[in-house]
A and B are shown apart, each in its own frame.
Chain A
Amino acid sequence: MTMLQAVLLTIITASTPLLLAAVGELVVERAGVLNLGVEGMMAAGAMAAFAAGHYTGNPWAGVLAGALAGMIMVLPFAFLTQTLATNQVATGLALTLLGLGLSGLLGESFVGQPGVRLPRLHVPGLSDIPFIGPVVFSHDILVYASFALVAAVAWFLFGTRAGLILRAIGVNHAAAHALGYPVIKVRYAAILFGGALAGLAGAYLSLSYTPQWIENMTAGRGWIALALVVFATWRPLRVLGGAYLFGAVWIMGLYVQAAGFGVPSQLLTALPYIVTIVALVIISRNRTLTLTNTPASIGIPFVPDR
């Protein structure tokens, strides 16, 4: 395998968790809900996936457990923000703190334990294409699932009536309610979907990216996924591009570090966070672009008058 192949390969693995989490959050935000708990759900998903894989020896059980953990973690958030109409910013933070705390607590006994790895799919023929085969057609299922999810979400949001309804709820929940659409139910569903995907993103980290459990192994990826959604102006295909851009930055730091240019390793580790800030600034300074794309009801609690 050439150096270039190795770099491309690792970019794909670094981008996948960002993509999974961001696509989930995109749907949540399109429905008008801001869930800042991605980091927490991701941590819980990573821990649960590792634990399930560790006990059963079956990576598929890990994938399932990761998604389920994300959904379970997000339930209190959904209940508070939707049924009790609490502040979404604060509740999302609570979810992040709880997810990081619980995963650290319950995962303590797994530190240093051997985990399982998701099998790489070998596609006969395709995987053997020179150069492209090993880079593109030798990943595990979650990598392909992330692409399929982007396509599915894009189709759902912009090609189906249900997607139109979900977007309508995000744009103007009062009007959607007046037309008789179940604002809160749709939002519950979107939040659960976002939880499942954040959990899957975590599962990818602990089953494939680095098949082990380390506390705080999400390392801010949940927050970067949130920034990605803004960066992509709430569009699925742009989320795909953004995730790979960020994945590339993440990997670039590692390779520069390995090459030993004498740049402090901390600076390279800090690069993805700095790039995130720069990307947010670049996209946000165009107010027309962000204002016209932002789901107008985002973050605003909805209480129907009955």
Chain B
Amino acid sequence: MIFVLEKREAPSPLWRWLSPLLAIALAVLAGAVMFAILGHDPAAALYVYFIEPLTSAWSIEELIVKATPLVMTGAGLAMAYRANVWNIGAEGQLIMGALAGSMIPILTPGWNDPLALLAMLILAAAGGALWGWIPAVLKNRFNANEILTSLMLVYVAQLFLDWLVRGPWRDPKGFNFPKSVTFEGWHVLPAISGRVHLGAILALLAVLILWWMLARMTYGFSVRVMGSAPRAGLFAGFSAQKTTTAAFLLSGALAGLAGISEVSGSIGQLQPSISPGYGFTAIIVAFLGRLSPLGALFAGLLLALTYLGGESAQLALNISDKVAQAFQGILLFFILASDTLVNYRFRRAASREGRT
């Protein structure tokens, strides 16, 4: 007996809600199997991974700190993917945003007031947007595939950061460590509670603004139309090129903001590696959140938990923290598989259906 897909007449509203939950459940199940294979008691490992990080105030703060860049970047990517614009290079835009924002503490250390902080944020958004603008231009002018160009630019950004912190931007008093000066005063995003900093509020604001744009504004409407039926978008008078550019600028700017909020709010200086792949994990955030900015908020928290759980599993069970990345990949597979149920139903097909 085999099952065949049958397109639903309309997307199922029920499965729209259920599919992320099903994906999470299946991924946790797969995680249990993975832990068992690695030789750990699955129940205990799952507890350490998913529950323990939620049991103390300290770790909840840490969860929010990790969720901040994920939510910010993921919400921006959700908008881009909604418009059918495939920005895969958020990691690079995040790095370039961090670099642009860091120009102020590193190059003009004397300027240390609230305005300097504002300038850092603006520069970061501009830096991320600019890095995102490159694939958009290459796509619009030369028809170059944006997936590949934006991804290639991640490597370039990483190497550029590496060069800066080992070369011109290295802290002269830093014992030759590849690190910039430590940010101080208004060069650091103010803390709200413990390690949670202003970035979390910015992320929340970004989500709300994007959500409103998507739901009510002509721009959001154009995103939804261009992503779902590009020819109808042209009929509406929207431009495919402008859509691509806007999507890259917006998602790049948010990734850039995430970059400076991470460097200025959590790390406190530039170093060769400033992100454990937040820009890539944000892709999963966008999908788990059903490509909606509000969804990205919840998805960002869940993905932050996978990072945190990875750390606590390493401490408690001596499981490699690389388990987090593997788990995230599995989760994305299950999200995509479950999403099929929104648009299709399974129909049992008797074998007489025959071969095609």
Contacts and interface: CB of A to CB of B under 8 A. Distances in A.
A223 B149 CA distance: 10
Interface string A246-286: 00000000000000000010110110011011001100110
Given A280-B145, A306-B4, 6 more contacts: A94-B284, A108-B320, A266-B159, A281-B149, A284-B145, A303-B7
Given A94-B332, A97-B329, A183-B356, A280 B339 contact: no
A93 B5 CA distance: 23
Interface string B166-191: 01000000000000000000000000
B156 A104 contact: no
A230 interface: yes
Contacts of B283: 90, 93, 97
20 contacts: A84-B340, A85-B344, A94-B284, A94-B333, A97-B280, A98-B326, A98-B330, A98-B333, A101-B329, A104-B325, A105-B320, A105-B322, A220-B152, A220-B155, A266-B162, A274-B156, A281-B144, A284-B143, A284-B144, A285-B144
Given A306-B4, A306-B353, A91 B336 contact: yes
Given A97-B284, A264-B167, A91 B86 contact: no
Contacts of A181: 356
A101 B325 contact: yes
Contacts of B5: 83-85, 303
Interface string B33-77: 000000000000000000000000000000000000000000000
Given A102-B326, A303-B7, A280 B148 contact: yes
Given A93-B332, A105-B325, A277 B162 contact: no
Nearest to B286: A90
Nearest to A87: B336
Interface of B: 4-7, 86, 88, 138, 141-145, 147-149, 151-153, 155-156, 159-160, 162-163, 167, 280, 283-284, 287, 320, 322-330, 332-333, 336-337, 339-340, 344, 347, 349, 353, 355-356
A281 B138 contact: yes
A306 B147 CA distance: 34
Nearest to B167: A264
A195 to B, nearest CB: 15
Contacts of B143: 284-285, 287, 290
B85 to A, nearest CB: 11
A277 B138 contact: yes
Contacts of B147: 36, 89
Nearest to B38: A105
Q: Is the interface of B mostly helix, strand, loop or mixed?
A: helix
Contacts of A91: 333, 336
Contact of B329 (A102, A182, A284): A102
Contacts of A90: 283, 287, 332, 336
Interface of A: 36, 40, 76, 80, 83-87, 89-91, 93-95, 97-102, 104-105, 108, 177, 180-184, 215, 220, 223, 226-227, 230, 264, 266-267, 269-270, 273-274, 276-277, 280-281, 284-285, 287, 290, 303-304, 306
Given A84-B5, A84-B337, A101-B326, A281 B142 contact: yes
Contacts of B163: 264, 266-267
Contacts of A101: 322, 324-329
Given A267-B163, A280-B149, A281-B144, A306 B326 contact: no
Nearest to A280: B144
Nearest to B152: A273
Nearest to A219: B155
Question: Which 10 pairs across A and B sit closest by C-beta, in order of nearness?
Answer: A98-B329, A101-B325, A101-B326, A94-B332, A266-B163, A97-B329, A266-B159, A105-B322, A285-B142, A104-B322
A297 B345 CA distance: 23
A162 B138 CA distance: 37
A85 B332 contact: no
A135 B326 CA distance: 40
Nearest to B7: A303
| Residue with the highest number of chain B CB atoms closer than 10 Å, among A89, A227, A273, A285 | A273
B175 to A, nearest CB: 21
Contacts of B332: 90, 93-94, 97-98
Contacts of A104: 320, 322, 325-326
Given A86-B336, A94-B333, A105-B320, A182 B356 contact: yes
A6 B141 CA distance: 40
A306 B167 CA distance: 63
A277 B344 contact: no
| Residue with the highest number of chain A CB atoms closer than 10 Å, among B155, B162, B329, B337 | B329
